[in-house]
Structure 1
Amino acid sequence: MSNTINGFLFFGAVISLLGYELGIQLKRKFRSPLFNPLLISILVVMGLLSLFNIKYEVYNQSAKYISYLLTPATICLAVPLYRQMEMLKKHSKAIVAGTITGVVTTMATVLLLAVIFGLNHQEYVTFLPKSITTAIAMGISEEMKGFVTITVASIIITGILGNIIAETICKVFHITEPVAVGIAIGSSAHAIGTTKALELGEIEGAMSGLAIATSGLCTVVFASIFANFH
């Protein structure tokens, strides 16, 4: 089957997008955060690769074109941020404080869980950058001698969980201020969480998009500090 698929240039991209579209339709129909389009897409791709015994390398060869769209898609997050520039200036101190708090809280939680579950240093640093965008996190994990592939997996899982439970968490803790909601989601669940923030509102989406960048920069600084704690 892998040899047959090699003849289809965009096979991987097609099944990935079809899986994502299936997730969107399921979410619209059942209106449940559990039907996360990205999660559904991952499950569809895994199922098809296993069912037809297709090697990951073959799939990735034809799915890599989707990655080329990641940069322009991320840049598009600047549009709602530009529209909320006055809001950004007005709440600049709160935004900076919220982002730093989010990053420090994430790393402190990783440190606590590493101690509880007896992780060694290499395993511990692998999870430190789990809440930021993949491009920055991979560099941090590699520099600290962590397991980069596990870092990427933890980033995806963190983002999907953040997307699923973000709205519920905000309701439980009565977080209603749009700026606070956006910063909380962006600093804890990066770009995947930001898609949920955009669904909640333009301000939430703009602040979450901002938090992706600032959280990445803060993590570069704080990761090297927290790495010495274990």
Structure 2
Amino acid sequence: MMTPWLNNPAFGIALSVACYQFGVFLNKRTRLAFFNPLLISVVLIILFLLMTGIPYDDFSKGGNIINFMLGPTTVALALPLYLHWKDIKRFIIPILIGIIAGCLASLTGVLLLGKVFGINSLLIHSMAPKSITTPIGVALSQSLGGNPSITVAAIIFTGILGAIIAPSVMRIFRIKSNIAKGIAMGTAAHAVGTSKAIEMGKTEGAMSSAAIGLSGLITVIIVPFLLPLFERFL
């Protein structure tokens, strides 16, 4: 017999918020990059649903509401672009070159790995938008004939991995510029990377937020044209 509270969207929202807040608490207490709040919340939600036998469809009634808010959040990315337009305008050429290079590297990496491991075109088209924010990535995946569910999983994995390894990568390559750090985080690891960039500093967070919107726009423009060409020659 179905428990009434499971039919309430508040259940999915409350579970998501509780698991994420526990992830934030664990991350602050351990100060370990591996304990990313999003990663922790995903693992906890999966374990909770498996242990209780609660169907995913019941949880998703609230989860879909959170997912719906990603659209307005994406539009709100115009705010950091406006607030930091002077910095962006001052370094517009290197910023655009960096973001375009990051978008091309992401697409090329997917295609090369697809060729090496013999991945079919459906998976390649689904993973091509892996480095941009979810609403834009899902829309682009659908236009390419990909599977949105695979796209979401690839985007989440990319963001979490980027947030975990980015500080170490920047230390290894001795990247000192706060603007460069932020642009790299936003371009490679979208919103999850931006959350880490905000921890690194105000400039890094602002540039990362701006890079999310710019990289999403650039990816939407170049991928539909370059993907068929890359697939033909690789």
TM over 0.5: yes
Q: Give the distance between the partners of 1:201 and 1:44, measured in 2 at CA.
A: 29
Provide Cα deviations, 1:166-205, integer angstroms capped at 9, x if missing partner: 1111111111101111111111111111111111111111
Partner residue in 2 for 1:44: 44
Alignment: residue pair count: 230
Shift in Å at residue 68 of structure 1? 4.7
Q: Contact 2:12–2:63 at 8 Å: present in 1 too?
A: yes
CA gap 1:200/1:76 in 2 versus in 1, 3 angstroms: farther
Partner residue in 1 for 2:94: 94
Shift in Å at residue 228 of structure 1? 3.3
2:196 is the counterpart of 1:228: no
Amino acid at match of 2:149: T
Amino acid at match of 1:173: F
Q: Give the distance between the partners of 1:2 and 1:26, measured in 2 at CA.
A: 33
Provide Cα deviations, 1:109-128, integer angstroms capped at 9, x if missing partner: 11111111111222221111
2:165 is the counterpart of 1:165: yes
Q: Contact 1:125–1:146 at 8 Å: present in 2 too?
A: yes
CA gap 1:149/1:68 in 2 versus in 1, 3 angstroms: closer
SS at match of 1:6: helix
Partner residue in 2 for 1:65: 65
Q: Contact 2:77–2:212 at 8 Å: present in 1 too?
A: no
Amino acid at match of 1:56: Y
Give me the CA root mean square deviation: 1.9
Question: What percent of counterpart residues are identical?
Answer: 40
Shift in Å at residue 90 of structure 1? 1.2
Q: Contact 1:2–1:55 at 8 Å: present in 2 too?
A: no
Unaligned runs of at least 5 residues, structure 2: none
Partner residue in 2 for 1:17: 17
Amino acid at match of 2:110: V
Q: Contact 2:195–2:205 at 8 Å: present in 1 too?
A: yes
Amino acid at match of 2:213: A
Q: Give the distance between the partners of 1:183 and 1:39, measured in 2 at CA.
A: 22
Q: Give the distance between the partners of 2:76 and 2:159, measured in 1 at CA.
A: 19
Q: Give the distance between the partners of 1:78 and 1:46, measured in 2 at CA.
A: 33
CA gap 1:72/1:229 in 2 versus in 1, 3 angstroms: closer
Q: Structure 1 stretch 207-216 or stretch 59-68: which is displaced more?
A: 59-68
Q: Structure 1 stretch 59-68 or stretch 17-26: which is displaced more?
A: 59-68
Provide Cα deviations, 1:121-169, integer angstroms capped at 9, x if missing partner: 2222111111001111112111111122111100011011111111111
Q: Give the distance between the partners of 2:123 and 2:69, measured in 1 at CA.
A: 31
Amino acid at match of 1:57: D
SS at match of 1:10: helix
Partner residue in 2 for 1:177: 177
Q: Contact 1:77–1:209 at 8 Å: present in 2 too?
A: yes
Q: Contact 1:80–1:202 at 8 Å: present in 2 too?
A: no
TM-score of the superposition, structure 2-length normalised? 0.91
Partner residue in 2 for 1:3: 3
Q: Structure 1 stretch 9-18 or stretch 34-43: which is displaced more?
A: 9-18
CA gap 1:92/1:125 in 2 versus in 1, 3 angstroms: same
Q: Contact 2:8–2:61 at 8 Å: present in 1 too?
A: no
Provide Cα deviations, 1:45-100, integer angstroms capped at 9, x if missing partner: 11111111001110111333333543555555555544433221211111111110
Q: Give the distance between the partners of 1:19 and 1:82, measured in 2 at CA.
A: 33
Q: Contact 2:80–2:210 at 8 Å: present in 1 too?
A: no
2:33 is the counterpart of 1:33: yes
Q: Give the distance between the partners of 1:146 and 1:34, measured in 2 at CA.
A: 30
Question: Residues 97-176 of structure 1: matches in 2 within 5 Å?
Answer: 97-176=97-176
SS at match of 1:108: helix
Amino acid at match of 1:226: L
Q: Give the distance between the partners of 2:2 and 2:106, measured in 1 at CA.
A: 41
